[in-house]
Amino acid sequence: MEHFGYLFAAYSIIFVVIFLYVMFICRRQAALDAELRTLEARMAALTKASDESASSQSQPDA
Amino acid sequence: MRANFFKMNSAIRNGLGYTTLALMIVALFMVFDYVPPEAEQGIAQLIFYFHVPLAWVAFASFGIVAIAGIFYLWLGDQLWDDLGYAAAETGMVFCTLMIVAGSIWAKPIWGTWWTWDSRLTTTFILWLMYVGYLMLRASADDTPQVARFGAVIGIVAALDVPIVIASVRLWRTIHPAVLVTKQGGHGLEDPRMVTTLLVCLAAFTVFWAWLLMLRFMQLRTRSRMGELAVRIAFASAAASDKQVMEPG
């Protein structure tokens, strides 16, 4: 079992780095989801404001 | 139509993920339990079964960076830039691991972690060029000009890949030429070695496809969200202008 340490080190490093990269992708995905929710909220607010403006314009002056 | 596309995408992504898991388990079993170690190098030679697939997926990534770069320069479509960026990033991870695994193998076999051999030097140049590519992308905004610079760097850097592959034949080197020896044929004496290498290659190819797809889809979403944010900003600016023009 000579050089087992080198073999163990090589495979450990490969799997640790791969795991870290997958974690990095997952974190990016979470950040992207949060950004998407913000955009959706802004879009909803904008649509609501636009609808209110349209309905106030369509009401005849009393 | 769009919902079907995303469903299919998600199914492919999950399929690749589960296939990667299964193949990696089989590959690890074969490396540590099935294949005999090479007579002279002993157990350290088992690093080879992950080192070669890492090199393959790194080179495939850099090939995709170059192809995506050519299409981006030709068509100017953001999709190609996103694909190139995703491939460069995954390629960089695999290239770094390939160098590290090779270096760990070299210490017991060559007696040194690193030597300025032709194969190692050309690989290091390749790695440096992609570090440059990723530094450019990370430090600058996502403008078409930066994407064009990135595409050019990606294409130029990929020209080094055939040089890396041919380096063991072109120059005097101590790096083993196992897959295609100078005498022709491969240097794997036992059929179990060939089978193990093929399984490891399959495992890493599927894994690479999975990672590339994940990262590419993320970058596509980010690009589309960027366009949407600009539209929302314009729409809200237009709405506030309208309120100023029509007070009360």
For a pLDDT cut of 70, what percent of chain A falls above it? 92
Chain A from 12 to 51: CB within 8 A of any B CB: 13-14, 17-18, 21-22, 25, 28-29, 32, 35-36, 39, 42-43, 46, 49-50
What single letter denotes the amino acid at residue B43?
A: I
**DSSP single-letter state for residue A62:** -
Q: Which of B33, B133, B38 has its CA nearest to residue B87?
A: B133
Q: b or e along B189-204 (b: 16 or more beta carbons within 10 Å of the residue's beta carbon)? A: eeeebeebbebbbbbb
Q: B82, B97, B105, B230: which to substitute to probe chain A, counting the most A Cβ within 10 Å?
A: B97
Number of other CB atoms surrounding residue B155 within 10 Å: 18
Partners of B108 on chain A (C-beta within 8 Å) are 2-3, 6
- CA dist B48 and B54 (Å) reads 10
- CA dist B14 and B17 (Å) reads 5
Q: Whole-model pTM?
A: 0.86
Please report where in the chains the tokens 């990534």 appear, as a residue: B61
- CA dist B19 and B17 (Å) reads 6
Q: Please check whether residue B35 is in contact with residue A7, taking contact to mean a CB–CB distance below 8 angstroms.
A: no
Q: What is the mean pLDDT of each run of 10 residues along chain B (248 residues)?
A: 64 88 94 84 88 95 96 93 95 96 92 90 94 91 88 94 88 74 65 92 95 91 84 78 64
Partner residue facing A3 (CB), from B44, B97, B218:
B44
- CA dist B95 and B150 (Å) reads 18
Number of other CB atoms surrounding residue B52 within 10 Å: 18
Where in chain B are the domains? 19-245
B231 Rama sector, left if φ>0, alpha if ψ -120 to 50, beta otherwise: alpha
Question: For chain B, what is the mean pLDDT?
Answer: 87
Per residue in B123-135, pLDDT tens? 999 999 999 999 9
pLDDT reported for residue B7: 66
CB distance A29–B239 less than 8 Å? no
Number of other CB atoms surrounding residue B81 within 10 Å: 26
Per residue in B21-57, pLDDT tens? 999 999 999 999 888 888 778 888 899 999 999 999 9
What Cα–Cα distance (Å) separates residue B203 from each residue in B21, B52, B149, B161? Answer: 8, 12, 33, 22
Phi, psi (degrees; rounded to nearest 5) at B141: -70, 160
pLDDT reported for residue A60: 59
